[in-house]
Structure 1
């Protein structure tokens, strides 16, 4: 985003030519005999300029005769254009001017300009500046550059011959739009750590074939993306030759391959190339690369790119769009280097190299064992897509941020789709949720007494074998998997065991709004297990408003009578619900039936919400017959009314 206005304050000793520089820039010619201090000059942006150029640049002339006014102008500056012209004024740059800036607490770039270099003619065009070392190795410039980090660039000018006047103005703008300070530490002559991290990530994303080199095609693609033009063949040859020469045995980068013939630039070569750009005053090239990958001046990716604003109504959910799923499939296939259908630890580490690491949500839910893994413990494509479906449902901002980190180049909102608002219907004086038509990700809370078999159910849901070992669930556990219903429609089911936070979550009605179906479990072999569910309904009466499936777990063990004032079948009948499903983690078919039942309950909430009598086929037939009778009666009345009106209305031709 371009800065709207940049304020450039010219200062320096009297007589160094500040006013003539402004006039020469504004009028494009030398104007002698000017007044002592010129009024403000505003230079608008040229239409051919970079989109990062400011809309307006204000040039402020100053005089040493009014120190208070000078200080006020300096404090309002975005960049300082410091001018000297002879040995005496040069000495005062270090002894007076730089000390003055520091005493005022100014932390802004300074462009140091040696004026009245009239022996030079104005023969250097702006485009030639890119290939020119603006930090001329001059005995005057080097000590100041080394001592004062505020000094961004040094340049020689002449207002009389118009030498470098346009260039120094451009450098003032560039110090704001393409600052060198975040990129390069001139005192040690190295790129700064944050830009190194950013450039390594960009290199990684551009290395499509993952061979740790950028070949010609990848360099062409990078150039096109960043600068919207093809790289010149001669420039590419020059880059290769330069990096090949640097990697000689006597050079600083001995032992590091910067360029490998027939393969391309290495990661170190890419970093060295950008270091050369910084040293030569061409750091706008590096900024062009960084900004094409959405980096800000602070070397972080823009928040509005990572977390785009979405207007999400309260009863809507967010899912991955087809474009999002395609991107994730391509990502999985790209990093499954051994083509074994799973991402091992090494492949996952490489995949997440361009990100801050595995999301905290995943670490907290025991990834990758929160979803489907292969028999060697590697996440499969099915599990990969299920994991991201769950992540998007629970916190879509994690998805948008990470898919941008992974290299998605378009608006992150294209990765998502917002489902329709949840509608409510009324029946026998109560509201219930309408059938769902546009969702494919559903959230299920598993409730039940400790040791009832909830954790084993989660493991079985993910296709893992049953274990007799018992470990109490303290923190919430989560599992997500895909399933296919009749007709070939695929859905994702998120199952959450709440652990010790169960009561806290159930007391929060907002948490329940994100739950599509409740799976109420008890141990059919434990006589004390079912009473826990009855007490839940007595304590949290609003559970009656959610779709519910009752499940009798450990059905492979002997069924016992429950020590409760009401038995499970009787209780579900009172709630007008189906009897509990009898499930065993060792019975695969029963588990499939449960998953389908839970998904159907989320799709058709009314049929599985407690307290609504089930409509029988006879009732449905009676209803349809009644509706037809009513419709016929309404039609007959309408026809009779129309006939009577025709008969009773007098003709307009009658006397």
Structure 2
């Protein structure tokens, strides 16, 4: 999806012709360029360009001849690295040149790691010994060993036999490559190709009955090839499928299985352009990903303290998707059901490590509706373009711009004294073994685990939280490991996406509280310095253990000094979270409160206040002076008027 490299449409194709000396490379190139055969051709021809309209696809070919002399090896390597396709030649009347393909040329191309299609061409067909085995017999072992070979063909420059076909196949190998479509080892469609064709099938299956009726099949044909299918042709297509694959056709028409089988058949018979035409008509590029113009990803220009959220329309659509794919109606998606949802996309967008262990599941690992919707909201928050692309692959109706909305800037939220967004992001700080991971696990309903395992990198958890008034908010908690805090805060805008910060400490450890207080100070100073102050809460974890009296005293002092609410005690081991998540959301909802004040911040505010007072006095003085001058002028004018 987003992240995959997108290629520009081809404006030309570069063909490099290689092979042993004297096999007929130059004569073949000259024959295609001049439509004639010449004796005594140069050792190496200059680059030859075929006109745009030479072949139906109207993409010009640039053909590069090559020398096989050792002293020209470096130049040949350079040309090969710029090539789109290789035409590898041998002479039909020189068996040793055929042997050299497997002993030297093909291994050499692999050594260069070119990853290019290869067209094997037997030149001098007119001199071929009639007793030689057929082309198919000679090439079958070679093609089995070297899967990069797309096509094998023989030609004769002297007799003008199949020379044009050589370069047609070269062009075709580039425009309609086999590699993205077919697994050569298993001779089956590659997963990404099958996923794309499944999406196309679903889009064409307008009545959603799981098969393409004659009318739907005809519409598909017109869309892709600008020509209708006649009734006998439709019958013929279904007959071909049903004879080989009974489940490929049912009483309603061509099934998905039959549709995929047809394309595998086209590819097997060398009609790759058929499948590629279908893919391109439905917006796919050479990597079998949807083109940018089809994805139409939102490109919101936003400030660092704004975020993108799903609209009600998108959320309703996703709830419908959940219901449709929850085949057993148990209120949760099993792995197979989730895979089915994303089976029309190049891959599952949640396979990325950042989405591991982030959402609510039931006791057997099925994703609940809350977990499913929350995960979409998390992806939209972190990677809005991936979220947009995923909606398109699922078949979201209409423009994806209707699926997203931009939140208000946090500075306006603070001015209005109310957070106006549905997805709230909480950054979780704290020393090792303080209980941060246990809090994230509790958010998504996971049982408490007594053993300690340090979190590697950042981790997120997300779930729906009910608040006053019967409404819900989506809470995203992002755990930031103690070791990464300093590097994290090197970014001036590190706290911009944060709506509330939580600082966790082990309530039985004075050292843990001390470290949490240091982290709180760091974060608070950073917010004061760069204008991204956030509400903060302290969490006294492990409340089931014997409390440390100094922790109670010191935590109260810290809260009083910095202007924070008293710490929230929790015991996740005993299952008591003390309404922690609702209280975090409520703290975020009041963005003007619970903002810690540091000594640095107080000094800065005091200095700013003094400057404002000085400026105020200066303005007042200037106003009085201006007023006095105005009154004096008015008095003089009245005096002059009275004397006259």
TM-score bracket for the superposition, by shorter chain length: 0.5 to 0.7
Preserved CA contact (<8 Å) 1:493 1:599:
no
| Structure 2 CA distance for aligned equivalents of residues 590 and 293 of structure 1 | 49
Cα distance between partner residues in 1 of 2:66 and 2:453:
70
For residue 110 of structure 1, what is the aligned residue in structure 2?
119
Which of 579, 597, 607 aligns to 2:586? It is 597
Q: Normalized per residue, which structure has more helix?
A: 2
Mapped partners of 2:22, 2:486: distance in 1? 76
Shift of 1:283: 1.6
- Matched with 1:337 is 327
Alpha-carbon separation, structure 2, partners of 1:341 and 1:63 = 68
Q: Distance in 1 between matches of 2:519 and 2:200?
A: 57
Q: Displacement of 1:152 after TM fit?
A: 0.8
Q: Secondary structure at the match of 2:327?
A: coil
Q: 1:6 to 1:637 in 2, by over 3 A?
A: same
Q: Deviations over 1:320-369 (max 9, x none)?
A: 4548657644543442334555324442243344565552436742x5xx
Please state how far the C-alpha of 1:594 moved relative to its aligned partner. 0.6
Name the structure 2 match of 1:442. 424
Q: Is the 8 A contact 2:15 2:170 kept in 1?
A: no
Deviation at 1:567, TM superposition (A): 5.5
**Structure-to-structure mapping, 1:246-285, within 5 angstroms:** 246-247=244-245, 257-267=247-257, 269-285=258-274
The answer for the alignment partner of 1:95 in structure 2 is: 96
Decide which moves more: 335-344 or 31-40.
31-40
Helix, strand or coil for the counterpart of 2:559? helix
Q: Which residue of 1 aligns with 2:138?
A: 144
Shift of the 410–573 alpha-carbon distance from structure 1 to 2, 3 Å rule, reads same
1:244 to 242, 245, 253: 242
TM-score scaled by length of structure 2:
0.65
Question: 1:444 aligns to what SS in structure 2?
Answer: strand
Does the alignment pair 1:350 with 2:354? no
Which position in structure 2 is the counterpart of 1:361?
353
Following superposition, the deviation at residue 73 of structure 1 comes to: 6.8
CA distance in 2 between partners of 1:349 and 1:72 (Å): 49
Scaled by the length of structure 1, the TM-score of the pair is: 0.64
Equivalence for 1:573? 560
Instruction: Tell me if structure 1 keeps the 8 A contact 2:505–2:539.
Output: yes
Does the residue aligned with 2:550 lie in a helix, a strand or coil?
coil
Kept in 1, the 8 Å contact 2:17–2:25? The answer is no
How far 1:201 moved relative to its partner? 1.9
Query: Which residue does 2:10 correspond to in 1?
Result: 2
**Equivalent pairs, count:** 568
- Gap runs ≥5 in structure 1: 118-137, 248-255, 426-431, 614-622, 649-655
The aligned runs of 1:157-556 (5 Å cut-off) are 166-180=164-178, 192=187, 195-208=189-202, 219=217, 227=224, 229=226, 232-233=229-230, 234-247=232-245, 257-267=247-257, 269-289=258-278, 294=284, 296=286, 315=304, 319-322=308-311, 328-329=318-319, 331-338=321-328, 341-353=331-343, 356=347, 358-361=350-353, 364-365=356-357, 370-371=359-360, 378-394=366-382, 399=387, 440-446=422-428, 461=443, 471-472=450-451, 474-476=453-455, 478-483=460-465, 491-496=473-478, 501-502=481-482, 504-505=484-485, 508-510=488-490, 513=495, 515-520=498-503, 528=508, 532-538=512-518, 541-545=521-525, 547-550=534-537
Q: Distance between the aligned counterparts of 2:628 and 2:273, measured in 1? A: 81
Q: 1:239 deviation in Å?
A: 1.9
Contact 2:537–2:594, Cα closer than 8 Å, also in 1: no
Structure 2: gaps spanning 5 or more residues: 1-8, 111-116, 127-131, 144-148, 528-533, 603-611, 638-644
SS in 2 for 1:257: helix
Kindly tell me: are residues 556 and 230 of structure 1, through their superposed partners in 2, closer, same or farther at Cα, counting changes over 3 Å? farther
Structure 1 pair 572–287 and aligned structure 2 pair: CA distance change class (3 A): same
Cα pair 1:452 1:521 within 8 Å, conserved: yes
SS in 2 for 1:6: strand
Q: Distance in 1 between matches of 2:487 and 2:74?
A: 61
Q: Is the 8 A contact 1:444 1:494 kept in 2?
A: yes
- Equivalent-residue separation in structure 2 for 1:11 and 1:470 (angstroms): 66
Deviations 1:295-332 (A, max 9, x none): 646x7899999999989999456534548657644543
**Structure-1 residue corresponding to 2:52:** 45
**8 Å contact kept, 2:378–2:476:** yes
Equivalent position of 1:609 in the other structure: 596
* Aligned counterpart in structure 1 of residue 550 of structure 2, from 563, 585, 593: 563
Aligned positions of 1:640-655 closer than 5 A: none
Q: Which shows bigger deviation, 256-265 or 528-537?
A: 528-537
CA separation of 1:416/1:473 partners in 2, compared to 1, >3 Å: closer, same or farther? farther
Alpha carbons 1:335, 1:343 under 8 Å: kept: yes
Which residue does the alignment assign to 2:61?
Answer: 57
Distance 1:173 1:520 in 2: 62
Change (3 A) 1:355 1:325: farther
CA distance in 2, matches of 1:403, 1:417: 15
Question: In the aligned structure 1, how far is the partner of 2:580 from the partner of 2:56?
Answer: 65
1:59-74 matches, cutoff 5 A: 59=63
Mapped to 2, the partners of 1:552 and 1:70 lie a distance apart of 69
Deviation, 1:494, is 1.3
CA distance in 1, matches of 2:41, 2:418: 77
Check 1:287–1:155 CA distance in 2 against 1; reply closer, same or farther (3 A cut): farther
Instruction: Tell me: higher relative CO, structure 1 or 2? Use CA pairs within 8 A at least 6 residues apart.
Output: 2
